[in-house]
Amino acid sequence: MMARVLVIGGYGNFGSYIAKALADEEAIQLLIGGRSAEKARAFATGLGTIHPAEAHAIDIDGDIPAALARIRPDIVIHTTGPFQTQDHRVARACVGQGCHYVDLADARDFVASIGTLDGSAREKDVLVVSGASSVPCLTAAVIDDYLPSFARLDSIDYGISAAQQTNRGLATTSAVLSYVGKPFTALRDGVMRTVYGWQDLHAEQYPQLGTRLFGDCDIPDLTLFPARYPGLRTQRFSAGHELAILHIGTWLLSWLVRFGLVRSLSDHAESLLRLALLFDRFGSSRSGFHMYLSGIGHDGTRRQERFFLIARSGHGPYIPCMPAILLARKLARREIAQRGAMPCLDLITLGEYLAALEGLDITVVRCGAAA
């Protein structure tokens, strides 16, 4: 029996990657949803799916329960951001309809509070998963893979460097700009301290990519990981532009927000996105992810592990999309018995994640050493 999988935002940046990846899945019939029925229809027609894809008009700001009753999905993948300005109304509607729900949210409070729907999801016998993306799914999977090699894990320092020549929409840009210059808390030396978005300017040396600049970013991990890894004393997540001039420009703008001269850069997302696109000719399609894990090894000496993902040929967006793709496949094939509402943790191993990336122009680099 086929599962009807509705991708909300299915013709958008991340939704289109997910739809294309699921197009040849025997157990899935794709339903492409978005505000424009015409755009959904055009995209669905060109997918070349095994089973005929359907197009549906659906607006997350509209009557979601009525739309789901009309469309009748078994699984919903919600890709339409920014999640920083949303509540759980789409997830609640999915629970009410009795269908599974997966989203790509990277908003800290949105993902961390998804457990409030756990009781109702269990009553309806559905799985509700938030943050099925690079954070916290990939990041936790990397930590869990390396954790047995540490007697004590003290710190994690990790980040994402985006390619300049990549598909990026207004929603993604708004999400990033929403916390630039804004205060949030992060674990530093055993204490939750206030840091500011896109500040703490620093550089990292990537294999194959060279030097990239980074600044602090607010993500769900900053709430979830101190409790998940209780021995952890320091946690830093950062992100950066490929081009130093754009990164430094964003860093300078962050001070305007921090000093209260600008309310939020997300208010100017459209104009800032247009400006950034002008620099595409100077960039590349290469992006990267890094994680440094430091602590004490089982021999009592300092230990550090370094993990990198290097994406070329514009394949970087498949990395944040892969958890939703894997969960859709598992749910359609009835390979997941778990029910309830939770962040995307303990559902996908690093081995599964990396195996799913095989065939793409993505390289894994591991560097381990005593520190």
Mean of the pLDDT values across residues 209-218? 97
User: Contact 79/9 with Cβ under 8 angstroms?
Assistant: yes
CB atoms closer than 10 angstroms to residue 92: 19
In this predicted model, what pLDDT tens digit does every residue of 224-264 receive, in sequence order? 999 999 999 999 999 999 999 999 999 999 999 999 999 99
- Asked if residue 59 has pLDDT above 50, the reply is yes
Element (H, E) at 291: strand 287-297
In this predicted model, what pLDDT tens digit does every residue of 151-183 receive, in sequence order? 999 999 999 999 998 776 677 788 889 889 999
**Cis preceding-peptide flag for 82 (omega within 30 of 0):** yes
CA–CA gap between residue 358 and residue 290 (Å, rounded): 18
Give 123-178 as a DSSP string. HTT-EEEE--SIIIIIHHHHHHHHGGGEEEEEEEEEEEE--SSS---HHHHHHHHT
CA–CA gap between residue 263 and residue 151 (Å, rounded): 45
CA–CA gap between residue 196 and residue 255 (Å, rounded): 9
Q: What is the CATH T-level fold of the domain 135-315+357-370, as seen in this structure? A: Dihydrodipicolinate Reductase; domain 2 (3.30.360)
* pLDDT classification of 310: cutoffs 50, 70, 90: very high
What pLDDT, on the 0 to 100 scale, is given for residue 371? 44
Mean of the pLDDT values across residues 309-337? 96
Give Cα 364 to chain centroid, integer Å.
18
CA–CA gap between residue 128 and residue 98 (Å, rounded): 11
C-alpha separations of 321 from 137, 167, 238, 328 in Å: 11, 13, 19, 11
In this predicted model, what pLDDT tens digit does every residue of 291-302 receive, in sequence order? 999 999 999 999
Spans of all domains in the chain: 3-132+317-347, 135-315+357-370
Residues in the chain: 371
The residues, ordered by sequence, that sit 6+ positions from 274 with a Cβ below 8 Å of its Cβ are none
Predicted TM-score (pTM) of this structure: 0.94
| CATH 3.40.50.720 is held by the domain 3-132+317-347 | yes
User: Contact 6/71 with Cβ under 8 angstroms?
Assistant: yes
Instruction: Return the half-sphere exposure (C-beta side, CA atoms, 13 A cut-off) of residue 253.
Output: 20
- In single-letter form, the type of residue at position 7 comes to V
